[in-house]
Amino acid sequence: MIIVQVKYSANSIVGTSANKNTAIHYGFATNVNGVQKDADPDGLNLINCVGGSTAAATPQIGAQGPEAAPGSSDLEPYRPSPNPFAETMRMAYAVAGVGERVDIGVYDLVGRRISTLESGFQSAGRHVATWDGRGSDGTRLKNGIYFIRTIVGDRLRTVRVAILR
C-alpha cells in the first residue's frame, strides 16, 4: 500500500491571474500506469480570490437558508436514509456555483436504469432526492440491492441502497 499526501496552499495553486470574481475548481484523480484508479468527485473549489487571500470551499453542502431544501438538514450528503428502507428513502446532495446539470438515477445489479429521480439543471444549494422503491413504470420493486448514481456537474458518485420490506 502506498499513501501519498500532497498539501497545497491557496496561494500556490491559484496563481497570480486570479481576481475577486474568480472561482476555480480543481479535480483530483489517481492514475497508475495511465489508468485512473480513483477520483475525488468533489475536488477543490477556490472562491473569492483576492490578492493572495483565497477561500477554499466544497459545494454548499451545509447551506441553510433559501437555497436549502426543506427537511434536508437532518441528512448527511450522499448517504441515503434510511438504508435499508421499506417505503421511501431520501438523499441530500449539493449543487455548486450558479447551478449545474444534475442526473440521479436508480440502477439494478445488472446495470439497467430502472428509475430517474432527478434530471435537469438545478440552482446552487442543498437539495434532496427521494425514491419510493418503484421502477419508472410505477411497479413496486423486489427486496434487494440497488445503486443510486448521482452526477452533479462533472462529479459522479454511486451509493448502494437496499429495499427490505
Pairing of strands 125-131, 89-95: antiparallel
pLDDT (tens digit, 9 = 90+) per residue, 101-131? 999 999 999 999 999 999 999 999 999 999 9
pLDDT (tens digit, 9 = 90+) per residue, 60-82? 444 333 345 555 556 788 899 99
pLDDT (tens digit, 9 = 90+) per residue, 21-63? 555 666 666 667 777 766 666 655 555 544 444 444 444 444 3
Model confidence, pTM: 0.57
Sheet holding 53-57, edge to edge: 24-32, 35-50, 53-57
Write out the three cell numbers for 58. 466544497
pLDDT (tens digit, 9 = 90+) per residue, 93-107? 999 888 899 999 999
Question: What domains appear along the chain, each with residue ranges and CATH number?
Answer: 10-57 (no CATH), 89-163 (2.60.40.4070)
Average pLDDT, the chain: 75
